[in-house]
């Protein structure tokens, strides 16, 4: 999953990035409001971790701009030293999914992200069962009948994103954006997405029929269940 950290305190931002990077997330940074606006205008994110006090503007302004953009589903967690209840209410009413006051535990941040994923996708647990395959979102594992399937990080993220977007056609561009990050840094003529999907399918097909994993010609992919 693709995460944008909007945090001007670079030590904290890098600490969060290192921790979430080890959890398999793709990380981008914005250290001030203007750079965050540029990234949000071009890309979509699974999560935006948003500080309220930013050089060049207030995080609330950025949140309002994001929520005015049609079709955006980026989950927003506000990270701030402002502990005032009114600020928390203001952030949640503006559309933030959660509010975590500083200082905070990185493990708590991760737990809240998992909770948002469960709520957003109507999951009871951190696991999704798909035609006999089990996707463990929390531990980044995929198994079939209890046997773990050895996927690379990118293969897992592709499978994860398609499953959470079940029954929807996901374009190659959208898949690239959510798994690899900034689409401006990706060669759109490359077939590397198809190569990763081919390898993923091969590993899944070694265990069971996967006719529910569709290629939608000239567009992208869809998982049906």
Query: Where residue 103 sits, what CATH number does that domain have?
Result: 3.40.50.2300
Do residues 146 and 205 share a domain?
yes
Mean pLDDT within 113-141: 90
Query: What is the predicted pLDDT for the residue at 190?
Result: 59
In this structure, are residues 221 and 169 in contact, taking their beta carbons and an 8 Å threshold? yes
Which of 94, 120, 146 lies at the terminal end of a domain, its last residue? 120
Q: Is the pLDDT of residue 113 over 90?
A: yes
Separation CA 85–CA 162 (nearest Å)? 37
Query: What is the predicted pLDDT for the residue at 92?
Result: 87
Q: What is the pLDDT of residues 42-93, one digit of tens each?
A: 889 999 999 988 999 889 999 999 999 998 989 999 998 876 778 778 888 8
Mean pLDDT within 124-145: 91
Which of 96, 120, 144 lies at the terminal end of a domain, its last residue? 120
Of the candidates 205, 192, 193, 134, the one whose C-alpha atom is nearest the C-alpha of residue 163 is: 134
Model-level pTM greater than 0.85? Answer: no
Do residues 171 and 102 share a domain?
no
Higher pLDDT residue, 120 or 78? 78
Query: What is the predicted pLDDT for the residue at 177?
Result: 83
Do residues 143 and 69 share a domain?
no
Do residues 75 and 139 share a domain?
no
Query: What is the predicted pLDDT for the residue at 85?
Result: 79
Query: What is the predicted pLDDT for the residue at 183?
Result: 57
Q: What is the pLDDT of residues 2-36, one digit of tens each?
A: 999 999 999 999 999 999 999 888 899 999 999 99
Measured in whole angstroms, the distance separating CA 134 from the mean position of its chain's CA atoms is 19
Sequence-distant contacts of 33-42: CB under 8 A, at least 24 apart: 33/6, 33/57, 33/58, 33/59, 33/61, 33/62, 36/4, 36/6, 36/62, 37/62, 37/65, 39/4, 39/182, 40/4, 40/65, 40/66, 40/69, 40/74, 42/182, 42/183, 42/184
Q: What angle in degrees, to the nearest 10, is found between the helix axes of 172-180 and 192-205?
A: 90
Q: Phi and psi dihedrals of 17, rounded to 5?
A: -60, -40
Per the structure, the count of domains in the chain is 2
Do residues 8 and 112 share a domain?
yes
Do residues 24 and 114 share a domain?
yes
Q: What is the pLDDT of residues 150-185, one digit of tens each?
A: 999 999 999 999 999 999 999 988 888 888 876 545
Do residues 161 and 84 share a domain?
no
Structural domain boundaries, residue 60: 2-120
Do residues 16 and 33 share a domain?
yes
- C-alpha dist (Å) from residue 139 to 36, 115, 142, 147: 30, 14, 9, 15
Query: What is the predicted pLDDT for the residue at 187?
Result: 53
Which of 74, 92, 120 lies at the terminal end of a domain, its last residue? 120
Do residues 158 and 108 share a domain?
no
Do residues 48 and 76 share a domain?
yes
Q: What angle in degrees, to the nearest 10, is found between the helix axes of 106-120 and 10-22?
A: 60
Q: Which CATH number do you get for residue 206?
A: 1.10.10.10
| Sign of the torsion angle spanned by Cα atoms 10, 12, 14, 20 | negative
Query: What is the predicted pLDDT for the residue at 46?
Result: 92
Mean pLDDT within 90-118: 92
Separation CA 47–CA 33 (nearest Å)? 17
Do residues 134 and 206 share a domain?
yes
Query: What is the predicted pLDDT for the residue at 211?
Result: 95
Do residues 112 and 142 share a domain?
no
């Amino acid at each position: 999953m693709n995460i944008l950290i909007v945090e001007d305190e670079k030590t904290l931002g890098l600490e969060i990035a290192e921790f979430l990077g080890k959890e398999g997330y793709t990380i981008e940074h914005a250290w001030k409001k203007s750079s965050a606006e540029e990234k949000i205008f071009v890309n979509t994110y699974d999560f935006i971790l948003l500080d309220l006090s930013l050089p060049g503007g207030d995080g609330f302004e950025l949140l309002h701009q994001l929520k005015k953009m049609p079709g955006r589903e980026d989950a927003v967690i506000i990270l701030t030293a402002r502990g005032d209840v009114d600020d928390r209410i203001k952030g949640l009413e503006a559309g933030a999914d959660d509010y975590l006051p500083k200082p905070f535990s990185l493990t708590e941040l991760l737990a809240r992200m998992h909770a948002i994923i469960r709520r957003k996708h109507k999951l009871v647990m951190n696991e999704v069962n798909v035609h006999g395959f089990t996707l463990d979102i929390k531990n980044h594992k995929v198994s079939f009948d209890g046997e773990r399937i050895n996927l690379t990080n990118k293969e897992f993220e592709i499978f994860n994103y398609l499953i959470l977007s079940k029954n929807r056609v996901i374009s190659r561009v959208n898949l690239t954006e959510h798994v690899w990050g900034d689409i401006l840094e990706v060669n759109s003529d490359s077939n590397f997405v198809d190569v990763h999907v081919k390898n993923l399918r091969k590993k899944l097909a070694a265990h069971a029929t996967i006719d529910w994993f569709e290629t939608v010609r000239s567009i992208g992919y869809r998982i049906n269940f």
